Amino acid sequence: MSTAQTGAAGGGRPLGVMAALPQELGDLVEAMRAESGVRTVTHGRRDYHLGTVHGAPCVVTLARIGKVAAAATVSALIHAFDVEAVVFTGVAGGVGREVRIGDVVVADSLTQHDLDASPLFPRFEVPLLGVARFAADQGLADQLAAATGKFVAEEGPALAARFGTQLPQVHRGLIISGDQFVASAAAVEALREALPDALAVEMEGAAIAQVCHEYGVPCAIVRTISDTADAHAPTSFASFLTEIAGTYSNGILKRFLQARAVAG
C-alpha cells in the first residue's frame, strides 16, 4: 500500500489520532463523516479512517488494548499512512496521590512499568535502546494541555455536576504503561514505590512513545482518570468508559484540532 493511495484528504501530512477502545474516541469519526466524508482503509485487522475533522487532516483508528496492539497500530500509522505526528486519547488509572477520578493527565514522559530485563539491563530500560523513559513531543504535549485546560475551564463545572466528580484538574508528568489492568491497593502501591513520580497507569502509551521515538515521529498522550487502580477500578473504569470518556475526548480533541487547523 503506497502513501499516495492512503494519504488523507485535504493535502499535507495527516495527524494520526488513536484510542484503544471506541468509547475513548468519542464522536470523532462521525464528526469527520459530517465534515469531509470518511475513507476507510482496512490494514492489519484495523480500520483507518481518513478525512478532515475540526479543520485538520487526520487518520483516526483504534489500537485495541495492550502494548503490542498499540505498537502495531502506530507503526502502521507511520508506514502506511505517513502521519506527521500521533496523538493518543483515552482513560487511565490514577497513581499519583493527588490525581483524582475525572482529572486529566497529559504525558511529559512515558515508561513501561512491566519491562524488567535486570540484571542484564537496568529495570525499565528498553534493552539495546538504552532508554527507560520516552519523552512526549513537548510542543505537541503543550498544545494538548492547552486544549485540555480550555476544555476544563469552559466545561469543568458542568462535567463535575453531571458526573458527580470533583472539579477536574490537569496534570503533566509521567504516565506508565504495562500489559496489566491494575486493580488492587497493593499493586498500585507497588507502582508508587517503584516509580514515585508516576501520575497514571494505562496499557498503551509507552509502547506508542517508544515506536515514535525510534522513527522520529512526534507523539503526545492524554488520559482522563477513570479509576484509582485499586479494588474499585473494574467498576469505576466500566462506568466511566460508558458514560464519561467520550465527553472528555470530544471536548479535548475538538479544541486541540481546531487550534492545529488555525495554526496551519
Of the candidate residues 21, 181, 194, 261, the single one contacting ligand ADE (CB under 6 A): 181
State the Cα–Cα distance between residues 209 and 71, nearest whole angstrom.
Answer: 9
Rounded CA gap, 18 and 45, in Å? 15
Q: What is the footprint of ligand ADE within residues 103-122 (CB under 6 A)?
A: none
Q: Which is nearer to ligand ADE, 59 or 176 (CB)?
A: 176
How far apart, in Å, are the Cα atoms of 237 and each of 36, 90, 94, 165, 202? 33, 11, 11, 14, 11
Number of residues counted as binding ligand ADE (CB under 6 A): 14
CA 171 from chain center: how many Å?
14
Assign 10 to helix, strand or coil: coil
Measured CA to CA, the distance from residue 116 to residue 190 in angstroms comes to: 15
- Binding part of the chain for ligand ADE, among 70-78, 135-143, 146-154, 181-189 by CB under 6 A, reads 181-189
Stretch that binds ligand ADE, among 70-78, 99-107, 166-174, 224-232 (CB under 6 A): 224-232
Give the interface segment with ligand ADE, choosing from 9-17, 50-58, 87-95, 161-169 (CB under 6 A): 87-95
- Report the residue number, 87 or 182, with the smaller CB distance to ligand ADE: 182
How many other β-carbons are positioned within 10 Å of the β-carbon of residue 130?
9
Taking CB under 6 A as the rule, does residue 202 contact ligand ADE?
Answer: yes
Residue positions annotated with a catalytic role: 24, 227
Q: Which of 249, 15, 211, 216 is nearest to 112 (CA)?
A: 211
Residue 182 contacts ligand ADE per CB under 6 A = yes
Say whether residue 203 binds ligand ADE (CB under 6 A): yes
Q: Could you list the residues that contact ligand ADE (CB under 6 A)?
A: 91-93, 181-183, 201-203, 226-227, 229, 233, 237
